[in-house]
A and B are shown apart, each in its own frame.
Chain A
């Protein structure tokens, strides 16, 4: 359940507000564990056999979605999950509004003295795919800037993710960054990156994790949303993690060729059109030095999953204001990397357990055997595993 965020920018709220956040977080845990299990049982026990009796086969996630749409379990699962998503943001926003004065003072004071760590380009246009909708149903989206709170989008992301993830994304909401960076460190111990870039970093929660794994590296998070960068910079400073934040569009990096050792992203590509994803990967290849690594943490491709598991993960594409989600996951990720200029022999693909939920020595042991795709890959529930892919230049 949501625990206080690990920094002084946490808007604690009243006990009533905290109780509502606790309720929403618990509701999400119930939906994504118990109701999800019930829905799958319904599919296996009733829906799929009925289809088979008609001598039909459900071959894809879209087929399963079509078959499930009129079923009560799907309807209630979806309705409760959709409402819970709205309630995540609503329960996060009220305490944030109440704390606006204090946070404005704190964040402003930090950012006024952050010439070296916060670089904004306020002329940079927010792309249409970002500005046109409220991704994840977040009111105003993550580039939201309220009156006298031009950091609100970032704060909303941080506080919302804390409720949304019901304790499943790490104590500092950085388990993805920790798991990805630690996997690389364990599997490639001779790799010592000195410049690391995190694309679409939002508030830098996973960016900071890379700095903790590679403390000698210069780590920069980039995003097109100034609100996230302002908040992220203040957050990192508060947690005493030395990372930089720069406003940039990942499809057109303001960086020289061969200048970076790691280009990383997490839960980013599926928010982009396939055209933009191709541009991101071409840019990654361009800015990487020879021997550098492009690594994207993502939901797994649909071709690697059963029709049901593909349907299950596709839900966000239909109902969570993530219109590019499915078109990305319908791609062949290997081909995307090849098309960007990476060689087949140097491609990377792996599934990792969560790093921050076990002793480090247990993690090293867990990743000795390569994990395979399954229903836990990318599914936010007990036993989740994170998927990453990319390539070495």
Chain B
């Protein structure tokens, strides 16, 4: 297939894996890099919480508007196993997002400066003014 022509039949297109991770080391802002990793988990969790909140609110409003359910019915409902399995896969993906910083190393600010200076073909100047 001509790499510059992508009007191919979608069924022939290979959906390869998505690259989500940035190349290079993550900076360590805190005295302990473990705190940096916890911050990542915290923020991903907050994001997931916000998404869930938004969905729940939308569903509630829609169902009430349509008169489809009442509160007692909702309290007694359980998911079928196929749906539970999907939730488990989603949970694992969530863990991979939240804990990714705990699975990789980080870099001190001094080392980062040295890397930047090297990249610019400068010698590190050492002490500040």
- Which residues of chain A have a CB within 8 Å of any CB of chain B? 15-17, 19-20, 22-24, 27, 59-60, 62-63, 66, 69, 74-76, 78-80, 82-84, 86-87, 89-91, 93-94, 97, 100-102, 104-105, 107-109, 111-112, 120, 122, 129, 132-134, 137-140, 144, 146-151, 230, 273, 317-319, 321, 323-324, 326-327
Contacts and interface: CB of A to CB of B under 8 A. Distances in A.
Given A108-B6, A120-B4, 16 more contacts: A15-B54, A19-B50, A19-B51, A23-B47, A24-B47, A75-B30, A76-B29, A79-B36, A89-B20, A91-B47, A101-B13, A112-B7, A122-B4, A146-B19, A147-B14, A323-B116
Given A75-B30, A83-B43, A69 B19 contact: no
Given A87-B44, A319-B27, A108 B5 contact: yes
B67 interface: no
8 contacts: A19-B50, A23-B47, A90-B20, A97-B18, A101-B10, A101-B13, A105-B7, A148-B16
A103 to B, nearest CB: 9
Contacts of B39: 76, 79-80, 83
B47 A138 contact: no
Contact of B10 (A74, A102, A112, A273): A102
A108 B8 contact: yes
Given A59-B129, A63-B128, A80-B39, A100 B7 contact: no
Contacts of A138: 22
Choose among B23, B36, B47, B129 the residue with the greatest number of A CB atoms under 10 Å from its CB. B47
A105 B52 CA distance: 32
B63 interface: no
A177 B76 CA distance: 56
A133 B51 CA distance: 31
A289 to B, nearest CB: 33
A200 B129 CA distance: 35
A268 to B, nearest CB: 17
Closest 6 CB pairs of A and B: A108-B6, A147-B16, A108-B7, A101-B10, A19-B51, A19-B54
Contact of A273 (B16, B44, B54, B120): B120
B46 interface: yes
B19 A60 contact: no
B58 interface: yes
Nearest to A100: B15
A317 B5 CA distance: 37
Contacts of B26: 82
Given A82-B29, A109-B7, A63 B24 contact: no
A93 B20 contact: yes
Contacts of B120: 273, 323-324, 327
